[in-house]
């Protein structure tokens, strides 16, 4: 009996010891994942109408091309219209906003009207680039004296302008030549990528380059093919090619094949730059000009990469 009592005592002490010295229960503590804070990079906001109305502009139609500061879209040098120093400079109501140089910042295209005391009001297209949030004039092109501006827009990095300008036989008061033109910035200049005009009866003069296609990679020599809606005077067009810096690489004339004078036609000609060791971006344009005054009637272009 004494042995049984002693066994129970030992068993009890063992159980008590296990309870006192057993490893503690593991408690699962939820872990919150800490995500590092990423500070956003600086975002350059798009240019605003108020900014371009209060920017500096280099004038276009005067040889000296002075720079003036506009205030709310206007500048006037003096109230004396008869003064040789008189200048009245104004932005028109038409403005367009969008990215012109592919940097993701919103740029602008505006129209600047210059008057120097006479009846002429010379209107130019101005490309304003967004530089650290401020408008800076990048390039310009004189449109006409007293043109009628129908629309102005920016799409896919290009400027689209619909304007009625003076044709070869239009009096100074009354522009009647309907035009649609497309520009792009290239090496600090506004260059045409297309130009369409209308005949007095409403026909559109359009030049299309069918081959090579735009933005394609090509090898020299090239065979340029395309078509035109209205054959030019004496069926002759002018072609030019420019490198990435707007330097003319080559130029020449070509003939249009057509069934009747003034009808639609096609063209095909070789563009050989052998001996020039040329490679890189190449802009090819084909132009129809007026025999009366040399003004542009239509233009088509294509950009290729020469390997």
C-alpha 258/C-alpha 288 separation (Å) is 15
For the residues 50-74, what does the mean pLDDT come to? 96
Q: Where are the beta strands (DSSP E) in 77-188?
A: 88-98, 107-115, 122-131, 134-145, 148-155, 158-165, 177-186
Q: How sure is the predictor about 232, in pLDDT bands with cuts at 50, 70 and 90?
A: very high
pLDDT at position 272 is 86
Q: How sure is the predictor about 292, in pLDDT bands with cuts at 50, 70 and 90?
A: confident
pLDDT, tens only, 14-41: 444 444 444 444 444 444 444 444 434 4
pLDDT at position 28 is 47
Q: Indicate whether 198 pLDDT > 80.
A: yes
pLDDT at position 29 is 42
For the residues 88-105, what does the mean pLDDT come to? 97
Q: What contacts 5, CB < 8 A, 6 or more positions away?
A: none
pLDDT, tens only, 125-162: 999 999 999 999 999 999 999 999 999 999 999 999 99
pLDDT at position 34 is 41
For the residues 179-207, what does the mean pLDDT come to? 96
For the residues 167-193, what does the mean pLDDT come to? 94
Q: Indicate whether 6 pLDDT > 90.
A: no
C-alpha 123/C-alpha 120 separation (Å) is 10
pLDDT at position 12 is 47
β partners of residue 236 = 255
* Fold category of 199-307 in CATH: Immunoglobulin-like (2.60.40)
The domain ranges of the chain are 45-191, 199-307
Q: How sure is the predictor about 267, in pLDDT bands with cuts at 50, 70 and 90?
A: very high
Between residues 230 and 172, the one the model is more confident about: 230
pLDDT at position 45 is 83
Q: How sure is the predictor about 62, in pLDDT bands with cuts at 50, 70 and 90?
A: confident
pTM above 0.85, yes or no: no
C-alpha 183/C-alpha 101 separation (Å) is 12
- Report the mean per-residue pLDDT for the chain: 88
pLDDT, tens only, 201-227: 999 999 999 999 999 999 999 999 999
Closest CA to 237 of 193, 286, 204, 199: 286
């Amino acid at each position: 009996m004494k042995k049984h009592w002693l066994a129970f005592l030992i068993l009890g002490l063992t159980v008590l010891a296990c309870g006192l010295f057993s490893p503690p229960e593991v408690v699962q503590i939820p872990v919150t994942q800490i995500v590092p804070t990423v500070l956003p990079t600086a975002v350059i906001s798009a240019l605003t109408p108020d900014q371009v109305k209060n920017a500096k502009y280099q004038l276009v139609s005067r040889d000296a091309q002075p720079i003036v500061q506009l205030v709310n879209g206007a500048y006037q040098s003096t109230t004396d219209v008869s003064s040789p120093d008189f200048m009245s400079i104004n932005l028109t109501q038409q403005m367009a906003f969008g990215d012109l140089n592919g940097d993701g910042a919103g740029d602008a295209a505006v129209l600047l009207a210059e008057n120097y005391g006479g009846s002429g009001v010379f209107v130019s297209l101005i490309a304003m680039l967004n530089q650290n949030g401020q408008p800076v004039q990048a390039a310009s092109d004189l449109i006409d004296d007293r043109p009628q501006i129908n629309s102005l827009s920016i799409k896919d990095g290009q400027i689209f302008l619909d304007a009625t300008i003076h044709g070869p036989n239009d009096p100074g008061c009354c522009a009647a030549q309907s035009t649609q033109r497309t520009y792009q910035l290239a090496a600090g200049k506004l260059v045409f990528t297309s130009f369409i005009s209308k005949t007095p009866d409403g026909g559109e003069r359009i030049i299309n380059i069918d081959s090579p296609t735009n933005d394609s990679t090509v090898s020299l020599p090239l065979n340029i093919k395309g078509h035109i809606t209205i054959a030019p005077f004496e069926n002759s067009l002018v072609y030019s090619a420019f490198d990435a810096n707007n330097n003319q690489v080559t130029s020449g004339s070509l003939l249009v094949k057509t069934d009747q004078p003034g009808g639609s036609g096609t063209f095909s000609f070789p563009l050989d730059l052998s001996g020039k060791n040329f490679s890189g971006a190449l802009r090819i344009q084909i132009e129809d000009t007026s025999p009366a005054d040399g003004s542009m009637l239509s233009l088509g272009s294509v950009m290729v990469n020469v390997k």
